[in-house]
Structures are given as structure tokens and as C-alpha cells.
Amino acid sequence: MLKNKLITQKIHNMKIQKLYPKHWLNYHPYKQTDDVDQYYTGIANQINRILHTIGVNEDEDGYANMSLILSAWFEDIISQTHIWETFTEECQKRYGARLPFYPIGTDYISDEINMEDVRFILWHILQRQYEGDRIINPENPGIRMAAEQIYALLSKEYETAPENKRMQTYFHAPELGPKDFLTYRKRLEWFHYQCYFTAGNQEQLYDAIEEVQASNAIDDIEQLDILCYAQQVALPFRSRKNLLSLTSSEWLARIWKRNGSKAGPWETVESLADNHYLYIEEDNSCIYLQSLCGEKKTFAVDKESLNLNQTHDLKPEQSIVSCMLVRYGETWWQNGAMLVNDKTPQWDDILQEQDHKMNPIHNRKAFEHFVQASGGKPFVYCRNKKELETFFREKMGYQIRTGMTFPEIGKSGALLMATPQTGLHIQLELTECICSPDNPAYNREEAEAQAFLFFVNPDVIPYELSCLLQDKGLLPDACINSLHGQQHGKALLHNNACFLTDYYFHRYREKDFKNSLLEKFL
């Protein structure tokens, strides 16, 4: 639940951790510091003292990271590397304002330091730190107080703070040709894991590696290292946990372009989900793989990205290659681990299951069946399990298999929904928060207390259905707890609804929600 309380801790005789240039280098692509780095490390230490005084965090690592990130942001503004400005420009395009939550005053200057920016950065750092544990209220008074003091400090330093020439150079795209994928990927990895703007991505990598280690009973340490490395090189292309749910490859392209870099193959990078491919043939420069799951296509994969020890025994129409592909330039590049197996009958079930997950046609058919069965309505309310079963059998014409069980339905009933992306969905939680004429269980008080979860909790509802509820106006009483009153809390949530949903679900409208089949509902 959103809280307006300060995130405080008792600082009895705690000794504030001093930050050194070695800590500062964690957010930079070089290994040796100079006077400029010493200066910004000093700024980070001053910010650290402010944060400790107010008590906006709960552990020393959290304080240190916040201080270093804010100092690196200040360096970005002073050095005109345009990382933050690229973000606020993208915000303006998508949401109609340079920043969520905080009204932009007439004195806001996009390429200078602004108190609103400091406030948002503090909120974002805290929210990433507590991801999955709590929702941070953007109006938290502690965040506001810390932002005011940090802004006052940086304002005094603004006119004399030195530019970082090395970072200015680094944020211009290098001269990259169509064969420079590995050079590009190295730059991208630094941006994804070490740039202040993408802070928090290392924790996602650690979580992914732990999952690999837990799910693979592998005695071969070398093979396990390969699988972990595959996660490291995959996440910069596929993770959507960055601000505005853009991948790091998408952000880096925007930043390089914003800094005036000449066009290059980095502008049109595209990555695919892990898939299984049938080896077809090869020529001097590429091997040709045909996808076996999802949309059926043939891909030319550059040999320079392959481990030739694995490919010399490939058999046309017989070898199955499992890997991740990235399009860089005019060809595709194998990225991370690649597994090669012979095509055998045992693969049929594996491919069928994977195809069902990746092929959107299955969800689209379920959506079309639902629309027909509901009479064109976006939602169907069921009071109990019997009504749910009747709808499936009599309205949708589904065969109920022997032994098939339906979920238990509470006193608030269930809502059936569907989109072409998600297929059929049974909403069992918080149904009393959905204000639909077809929902007799709607309860305004419950909606005011809990409906905000539809905007911020992907465990409650799929992203597309959250967007559908919002666009149909079925969450009118959702609100954020606010010291300024309930109506202000409602306005704060609804004015920032698209940002909040994109932020917490790691998705965004232009890429994930548009579908002509939904227009009849909107």
C-alpha cells in the first residue's frame, strides 16, 4: 500500500560511509581517475551527508548508490552528455510532460539542473531498490526535503562544476560498421550495467544467474558459466526494466542520436526471444536457420558470431539450434549460448509447447471466441463457479475435460476478460474495484483503497487488461494516499496512469497494447 510516511531509520552513532574515487568508477567506463572524478566524488559525499541527515534510506549501500547516481546525473547535466535530457524529451513525447508526478514550473530548463528532476530521481532510485516489496509514494515528504537540500547544494556548484571530457566522448557513437557487433555489444553492456541512468540492472542479472544455477543440475562448471554469461549478454537487449520500459539498446540509440552521432547499424538493433531453429544451409558468410516456434521465418546468421567448433557438424534439415538472435546491420548475430541437437521424435513435444507460448494466434482465437460469446462486451461477470463453467460450456462451446477443475470464486465473483495478446483471463482478485455496469460486486470504498493495484502490480492483472480497464474508465475511484486529500490522490494517479502502468509492468503502450481488434471495446 502506498504510504506517505518518511522512509526513516534511527541513526544513533552510525558512521557515514565515505565514498572514494573507486566507488565513483563503478559508474564510469574507464579505470583511472583524474581531477574531474575527484570533484564529483566530493559532491557525492556531500549528497550522502544530506541523505543521512534526512534519513531517506535503510542501509549504507542504498545511501552510497543514491549519492553516486545523483552526482553522476549532475555530471551528465554539466558535461552536456544529454542522457537525462533524452529521457525527459521521451517523457514529453509519450506522456505530454517532461516528468511524471511533479508539475514543471516556468523556471524549469531542460538542459540544466532542476529541483523536480532531483525529486524524481530520488523516487526512482528508492522504488527500484524496493521493487517487489513496497510502492514508494512520489509525494513522500522525505523525498521532497532531500531534493530541496540537494538542489540547493548543486545550484551553488553549477557555475563552477567541471565538464567530464571523457564522458562527452564516450556518449558519441563510435564509428561502427556492419561487422562491429561485438564492439557495439561491449559498449551496450557498460551502459546497461554501469551507467547511472540504468542503475539497478546488475541486481536483475544477479537474480537471473541465481535462477540459472537453481534450475540447472549441471556438474560442468564451464557449461554453467556459459549459461550465466548468456544471461549477461542477453539482458541489455531484452530487459525492459529501464525507465519508460525501453531496452538499453533502444535508449543508447536515442542518446547517441541526441548527441549528434552519425547514423549507424546501432539505430535498428532488434532482438528475438530464445528460440529453436532448424539448420537449413550455409554460405561463406552466414548460416541459415528457420524458426520452429512462433512465426516461421528464415534468418541469415553471421558466422563471425558463431562458435565454429559447434557448427562444423551441422546437418541440413536435421540439426536443431537453440539460441538468441540479434539483428545488427543487415544480418542476424547469435548472442550468448548456443545449443545444438539432432532432430528426434522427443523434440516434438518441446517444440509444440514452445510454439504455443510464442505463437499469438492461440490467444487471438481465444479472444475472438470470447467476444462472440459475450455479445461484444469486454467483460462477463460470474457469481460463482457454476456460472463460470456454464459460460465456458454453453456460450463459448468449450469442451470441459474430465477431471478439469475451475478456480474457487469468492463472494465478489469473477470477471472474464480477454485481449488478443493475453487470450482469456479470469479475474478473481479485486473484482469489487472494477466499476462496470455488468459488475454487481463493485464497491466504491474498496476501489478507493485498493484499485491502484491495477496500475502498479503485474501479479494482479496482465498489462493489456490493465490498459483496457483504464481506457474504458472502469477504475474511476482508484487513488494514491495523499496528504492533500483523496481528490488530489485520485488526480495524481489518473494524471500519471500511463506512466505508472508502464513503469511497474515494464511495458509500454506503443509497443505492447495497440491492436485493431480492441478498437470495438474502446
Digit-coded pLDDT (tens) for 192-235: 999 999 999 999 999 988 888 887 656 677 778 888 899 999 99
Residue 515 has pLDDT above 70, yes or no: no
Q: Sorting pLDDT into bands at 50, 70 and 90, what band is 10?
A: very low
Residue 6's pLDDT is 41
Half-sphere exposure of 274 (CA within 13 A, CB side): 14
Whole-number average pLDDT of the chain:
91
- What length is written for the chain? 522
In the predicted model, what is the mean pLDDT of residues 375-397? 90
Please tell me what DSSP assigns to residue 142: H
Q: Give me the pLDDT at residue 12, please.
A: 38
Residues 285-317 pLDDT 10s: 999 999 999 989 999 999 999 988 878 889 999
3-state secondary structure of 507: coil
* C-beta of residue 443 within 8 angstroms of C-beta of residue 430: no
Q: What is the pTM of this model?
A: 0.92
- In 325-413, the DSSP E strands lie at 325-328, 331-334, 339-342, 379-382
Strand partners for 332: 301, 327
Q: What is the dihedral of CA 175, 178, 182, 184, to 10 degrees?
A: 40
Q: Model confidence over 89-123: pLDDT tens digits?
A: 999 999 999 999 999 988 999 999 999 999 999 99
Mean pLDDT of 21-30: 97
Give the best-scoring range by mean pLDDT among 408-417, 495-504, 506-515. Answer: 495-504
Question: Residue 412 — pLDDT band, cuts 50, 70, 90?
Answer: very high
Position 438 scores a pLDDT of 85
**Euclidean distance between CA atoms 174 and 506, whole angstroms:** 29
* Percent share of the chain, pLDDT over 70: 94
Rounded distance, CA 80 to CA 164, Å? Answer: 9
Q: Is the predicted pLDDT of residue 9 greater than 60, yes or no?
A: no
| Virtual torsion, Cα 206, 208, 209, 210, nearest 10 deg | 90
Residue 357, pLDDT score: 85
pLDDT over 90 (residue 356): no
Band of pLDDT at residue 520, cut at 50, 70 and 90: low
What is the pLDDT at residue 282? Answer: 94
Residue keyed to cell 466499476: 435
Please compute the mean of the pLDDT values over residues 434-446 and round it to a whole number: 93
Closest CA to 147 of 50, 33, 277: 50
Radius of gyration of the chain, Cα coordinates, nearest whole angstrom: 26
Nearest CA among 123, 145, 142, 144 for reference residue 134: 123
- φ, ψ dihedrals at 419, nearest 5°: -135, 160
Predicted confidence (pLDDT) per residue in 227-275, tens digit: 889 999 999 999 999 999 999 999 999 999 999 999 999 999 999 999 9
Q: What is the pLDDT of residue 319?
A: 96
d(CA 154, CA 52): 17
